[in-house]
Structure 1
Amino acid sequence: MEEKIDVADRTVLVDIVKLVQKRRMQGALGDWKNFLMSHDKKFGSNLSDPAKRSRETLVAFLKTFSKEGDLKIFDTILRRYSNKDLFGLFKDKSCDIPEQRLVQNTLQHPSYPLDYAFEELDEDWVVINLRKKNMLLKSTKMVAIDCEMVLCEDGTEAVVSLCVVDRNLKVILKKLVRPNKAIADYRSGITGVCPQDLEGVTCSLANIQNSLRMMLLDGTILVGHSLHNDLRALKLDYVRVIDTSYIFQYSDGNILRRPSLNALCKAVLGYELRQTGAPHNCVDDAMAAMKLVLAKIERGVDNAIPLAQEPVQVPQSEMAKLLLHKISSGVTSEELYKIVPGDFILELRPPKGNKYSALAIFKNPQEAHEAFESLQGNQEKDSFGRPQKHVTFKLKAGVNASIFVRKMAPDGPNDSKRALEADETTVLKKAKMDPEIEGRVSKKTKMDPEIKGRVSKKAKMDPEIEVNATAISNKCDCDTHLNEIEALNQRLKENDLEIESLKQQLKQKDCEISILNKMVSSLNKKLRK
């Protein structure tokens, strides 16, 4: 390791020392500032910016580290910087091979530097350095990958299953993976994996990393959809990639709005990948990514495949949420509750690097809409046309911070009206199950012709509702019924909040049961021994 540090570029050394500062790592002479106090009697730690220090000082500091874990981190970073030369090689436009052209398109996409930065490299990461670099541009070998991830108790994601297929759509690797952390949520509705599926599974992330390393060492192109998510979960750094979310774009020319895998399958391949709400299948997803690349090559890399704008269809339950994103790790959930107005439940998402995101879940879409409108901040639109606000504030320590708060769907011409209509629709649906509610809702129709029209339309399909609505509306007393409707809406809001609370409790109970099952299994093994 000392030899590698001796010959490393000064820019690389500066970055390593900055990482050491960020992680508060200490060598034999302490941290960076302690080292400077003993190493430089003249300036000491007064000049602590690594970029302003000599190469010799940086090398001397890094050589004070001897712990295996620290040296492994240094080695990982040094190997990753060696891949930067390959990055420049792969961006070379002189190669006319279609596969390599798609690699270029991926590396030159505006989102690549952000998505594939992987700043959180640690000792568990694997950086793949390629062999036979002079032959890389001529290689057309490709494999496609897809992973499914579970949520761990520490808030991170871990790979639980993956599949790799070759150019001929043959499955060459398909594994269930046992995470090395406690699992908080199996996300079975998405991953299709439940606790019982992992019983007896011994395959680890390290096993998968080693298999992929041997598969890619010769420069094989790695294909995937939003591939950076898979690589981050796999803790794998690799340069020669094709991201299918980058190489297709919508007909409006918005390069930053990336199509979903399902949308690409419908538009390019002519079939629907999965039905709404169905679990993901990593075999199908990996094959779909490979088919998309092959279709792009067949139709010509430079020939655009027009994608029609997908209508944004967001369930009403999602419309009652606001996404809080690009939140610095220094911002606590308590501070988020103070920043966003209204009554809501906060659901944190796994961090990515030093940023994380969260969902603010309100009782109904109207309250989410009002909370967004009340926020003080610069309003803009994201790449999908969804409204969001950039909100700045001060932390307790007096440090400035900011977050982005985004709606779940673009605003229409009558967005707030649609939110109210959604609440009324919910009331009408519940009315059929509850005669008391049915009567109260039906009475309101005489006061409001627009609502009466909606009930009448439904009545044509259901004669029983027509009889009830007609009989009760004849007894209308406007002032009384307005109060009853208001009370009814309040009851429904309280019920919705109670249901959401019960869901959270069930999720927690599932987690506790999973942990208890593991403890019982462990005790049984000890008893058998």
Structure 2
Amino acid sequence: MPTAKKYKLFAADGADGGVPPCAFFASPAGCRNGASCKFAHVRPTEAAVETGSVVSSESDDEPMPSPSVPIPTTNNKQKSAKTKAKTTQQASPQPQTKQAKKVQIQMDTAPTDDSPFRQSPPKPKKNRRSQKEEDLGPFANPKKKVKSDESPGGHKTAAQEPTPPPTTNSPKPKQQPAKTAVAGFDIRALNLPVASFTMPGTAPAPTAPPQPPAPVADAVSNVQEILPTHTTTGAKWMKAIQQARQHHKYATAYDFVKYKALDAEIGLDPSSTWIQAKPYGEWCKGFPQAIAIDCEMCETEDPVSGKHNAKDLCRVSIVNAENDEVLLDSLVKPSWPVVDYRSRINGITEEHLKGVQFTLRHTQAFLMALCSQETVILGHALHNDLAAMRMEHYCNADSANLFSASDSERSSVSLKDLASNVLKKTMPDKHDSVNDARTAWKVLEHWVEKDGQVEPIVRSMSVKQTFASQLFIHRIPKNMCEESHLSRMFLAHTSIAPTEVEEIEFAGEMGKTHVVFKSPQHANLAFDTLDSKTDTDPSGRLQKKVFLRNGGYIRVRKMAFEKPRDKSPPRRALTTSD
């Protein structure tokens, strides 16, 4: 078998009468054959030299259109054969044009130092490239458009350069983790536009939990009786959930039928706005089985109907109650235009909510991906948070239902007083939902450690002062009385205008609310000025009737305990049976 030549010379058609030009004549060393050379000693403007791999040329006087290097003169047939075999696996060179055939060369050895051009840029020192660069390979971005077959610096583009074989020292490209094929909801596909809200002492940015497959368990017929029976975490919180359900305010506070009816009244469709977690199954075994939640709300108004939503979600925070990880903390875009940001309470202003794209539905998508019906949700006055998120859930441990006040067994205590009594912790004046969620969780941990045998909570003087500045209004007939009516009633009957009338909460056909005055003195004066007989309610607090035009009446009651006036019936007459 004949030995393959290292290179072969050829000329463009019609050049020098068909005599091929001498490739060595134009080199610095010149042609060694002199006049006896059978090739033409001319300085061609374009010629081609084909080696064992691809084609090239060079010139002493001026650079050619493509880079060139001297032809190696060493006898290295083994390297040349390897180079040729390697080249056949790479992309073929660009086709030559009819006007001129560009000269190209593929090196089979390293270029010499005196070469005016380089086939490729010098190899850099060994250093690790970024993952993005590794994914693109060691050459230029193949997506970058180049008009010619060479880069501006005289180097070949990625389409022409052969890819070097991998070495043991080269960093391996990072492999993307394989997606788990699941039939259920993939939380990674949510791409939630989380809008973090930073306050002093807040946690770092949230991370999303893993993706859940579709549930496999059958639905429970009576969701109100659901208990977390499948996990050890659920067993830990079982007693707290059951005892919270025994609280005298639980049935009213967690009456989701009532909340859905209120939504329908303001024009929201409960069938499409409310969610309920899926049954427990294999899909959620690796997820947090206990989470702490706290929300911040603002008041909004429907510009068409004029209806108000006093609990429109504007921030949501969810903490893993197993390892203290912040799962979600985001501002939430309100559903309607805001009429009261309640910045004095939550620190959130109009400027903070500008550009926020995270909505109530994003919150619900997160909850549906994370929670099962047996996920234990911890919080303080948790029914308010669930109503704001439009989520019907029953495995709840509510600290407001598990602790009582030292001065009133039937009264709830604030989270601020719980933190002070139980955790010896001072809460900030403005609410931070991450801090509030964590505090409620820690307080409930104390309840579990004590097996429910906890001391009554001593309420702070500031809370008593706040209570004393309020009057409690109840027996408010549905569809007959609004917040503005109550405000005008006090101004007309007592000449004392309240500073705030809270949203009326209806249970069936009757509602209740609190009317806030500037000070306890203003509240007492407004109560005393009402022209009605004073009596006491079952707890011993003073109250009066205010009659309505249709013959009905509402009750106005003091929040603070006080002995009845002389003109009122003696308290003893209402409590004795003789």
1:320-469 alignment runs, 5 A limit: 322-332=471-481, 333-334=484-485, 337-338=488-489, 341-346=493-498, 347-353=500-506, 355=511, 357=513, 359=515, 361=517, 365=521, 368-369=524-525, 371-372=527-528, 374-376=530-532, 379-381=535-537, 387-389=541-543, 391=545, 393-396=547-550, 400=552, 402-411=553-562
Structure 1 residue 165 corresponds to structure 2 residue 165: no
Deviation at 1:143, TM superposition (A): 0.2
Match 1:298 to one of 449, 466, 471 = 449
Structure 1 residue 120 corresponds to structure 2 residue 259: yes
1:223-302 alignment runs, 5 A limit: 223-251=378-406, 254-274=408-428, 278-299=429-450, 301-302=451-452
> Distance in 2 between the 1:316 and 1:261 partners?
16
> Distance in 2 between the 1:255 and 1:317 partners?
19
Deviation at 1:268, TM superposition (A): 1.2
Structure 1 residue 211 corresponds to structure 2 residue 366: yes
Given that 1:224 and 1:243 are in contact with CA atoms closer than 8 Å, whether structure 2 keeps it comes out as: yes
Q: Residues 239 and 125 of structure 1: is their aligned pair in 2 closer, same or farther, counting only changes over 3 Å? A: farther
> Distance in 1 between the 2:225 and 2:465 partners?
46
Cα deviation 1:356-399 (Å, max 9, x = unaligned): 5352647982674364364425633586x7x3425263434x5x
Deviation at 1:297, TM superposition (A): 2.2
Cα deviation 1:10-33 (Å, max 9, x = unaligned): xxxxxxxxxxxxxxxxxxxxxxxx
The aligned residue for residue 224 of structure 2 is 87
Partner letter of residue 448 of structure 2?
A: I
The aligned residue for residue 110 of structure 1 is 248
Q: Residues 134 and 116 of structure 1: is their aligned pair in 2 closer, same or farther, counting only changes over 3 Å? A: farther
> Distance in 2 between the 1:372 and 1:242 partners?
40
Given that 1:314 and 1:408 are in contact with CA atoms closer than 8 Å, whether structure 2 keeps it comes out as: no
> Distance in 2 between the 1:87 and 1:410 partners?
36
Given that 1:143 and 1:221 are in contact with CA atoms closer than 8 Å, whether structure 2 keeps it comes out as: yes
Given that 1:329 and 1:356 are in contact with CA atoms closer than 8 Å, whether structure 2 keeps it comes out as: no
The aligned residue for residue 345 of structure 2 is 190
Deviation at 1:236, TM superposition (A): 1.1
> Distance in 2 between the 1:296 and 1:315 partners?
24
The gaps in structure 1 that reach 5 residues or longer are 1-81, 416-529
Q: Residues 413 and 334 of structure 1: is their aligned pair in 2 closer, same or farther, counting only changes over 3 Å? A: closer
Q: CA RMSD in A?
A: 3.8
Q: Residues 237 and 326 of structure 1: is their aligned pair in 2 closer, same or farther, counting only changes over 3 Å? A: farther
> Distance in 1 between the 2:548 and 2:472 partners?
20
Deviation at 1:319, TM superposition (A): 5.2
The aligned residue for residue 150 of structure 1 is 298
Given that 2:418 and 2:457 are in contact with CA atoms closer than 8 Å, whether structure 1 keeps it comes out as: no
Given that 1:155 and 1:350 are in contact with CA atoms closer than 8 Å, whether structure 2 keeps it comes out as: no
Partner letter of residue 425 of structure 2?
A: Y
Percent identical among aligned pairs is 24
Cα deviation 1:11-69 (Å, max 9, x = unaligned): xxxxxxxxxxxxxxxxxxxxxxxxxxxxxxxxxxxxxxxxxxxxxxxxxxxxxxxxxxx
Partner letter of residue 123 of structure 1?
A: S
Q: Residues 330 and 379 of structure 1: is their aligned pair in 2 closer, same or farther, counting only changes over 3 Å? A: farther
Q: Residues 180 and 261 of structure 1: is their aligned pair in 2 closer, same or farther, counting only changes over 3 Å? A: same
TM-score between the two structures when normalised by the length of structure 2: 0.49
Q: Residues 334 and 280 of structure 1: is their aligned pair in 2 closer, same or farther, counting only changes over 3 Å? A: closer
Deviation at 1:136, TM superposition (A): 11
Given that 1:177 and 1:205 are in contact with CA atoms closer than 8 Å, whether structure 2 keeps it comes out as: yes
Partner letter of residue 349 of structure 2?
A: C
> Distance in 1 between the 2:409 and 2:281 partners?
31
SS of corresponding position for 2:251: helix
Cα deviation 1:407-433 (Å, max 9, x = unaligned): 353337999xxxxxxxxxxxxxxxxxx
> Distance in 1 between the 2:350 and 2:486 partners?
35
Q: Residues 408 and 104 of structure 1: is their aligned pair in 2 closer, same or farther, counting only changes over 3 Å? A: closer
> Distance in 1 between the 2:282 and 2:537 partners?
44
The aligned residue for residue 42 of structure 2 is none
The aligned residue for residue 30 of structure 2 is none
Given that 2:469 and 2:518 are in contact with CA atoms closer than 8 Å, whether structure 1 keeps it comes out as: yes
Given that 2:542 and 2:561 are in contact with CA atoms closer than 8 Å, whether structure 1 keeps it comes out as: no
Partner letter of residue 505 of structure 2?
A: K
Q: Residues 357 and 310 of structure 1: is their aligned pair in 2 closer, same or farther, counting only changes over 3 Å? A: closer
Q: Residues 184 and 140 of structure 1: is their aligned pair in 2 closer, same or farther, counting only changes over 3 Å? A: closer
SS of corresponding position for 2:547: strand
> Distance in 2 between the 1:169 and 1:214 partners?
19
Cα deviation 1:192-247 (Å, max 9, x = unaligned): 10011011100111111121122212621011100011111111110111101112
Given that 1:224 and 1:286 are in contact with CA atoms closer than 8 Å, whether structure 2 keeps it comes out as: yes
SS of corresponding position for 1:345: coil
SS of corresponding position for 1:239: coil
> Distance in 1 between the 2:531 and 2:220 partners?
44
Q: Residues 110 and 90 of structure 1: is their aligned pair in 2 closer, same or farther, counting only changes over 3 Å? A: farther
Q: Which has the larger radius of gyration?
A: 2
SS of corresponding position for 1:291: helix
Partner letter of residue 495 of structure 2?
A: D
> Distance in 2 between the 1:218 and 1:366 partners?
47
224-233 or 151-160, which deviates more: 151-160
Q: Residues 116 and 366 of structure 1: is their aligned pair in 2 closer, same or farther, counting only changes over 3 Å? A: closer
151-160 or 314-323, which deviates more: 314-323
The aligned residue for residue 65 of structure 1 is none
Deviation at 1:313, TM superposition (A): 3.6
Deviation at 1:325, TM superposition (A): 3.9
Given that 1:343 and 1:362 are in contact with CA atoms closer than 8 Å, whether structure 2 keeps it comes out as: no
Given that 1:320 and 1:361 are in contact with CA atoms closer than 8 Å, whether structure 2 keeps it comes out as: yes
Q: Residues 155 and 272 of structure 1: is their aligned pair in 2 closer, same or farther, counting only changes over 3 Å? A: same
> Distance in 2 between the 1:129 and 1:392 partners?
44
Match 2:458 to one of 288, 296, 309 = 309
Given that 1:186 and 1:194 are in contact with CA atoms closer than 8 Å, whether structure 2 keeps it comes out as: yes
Q: Residues 329 and 203 of structure 1: is their aligned pair in 2 closer, same or farther, counting only changes over 3 Å? A: same
TM-score between the two structures when normalised by the length of structure 1: 0.53
Cα deviation 1:464-501 (Å, max 9, x = unaligned): xxxxxxxxxxxxxxxxxxxxxxxxxxxxxxxxxxxxxx
> Distance in 1 between the 2:289 and 2:350 partners?
36
Partner letter of residue 295 of structure 1?
A: H
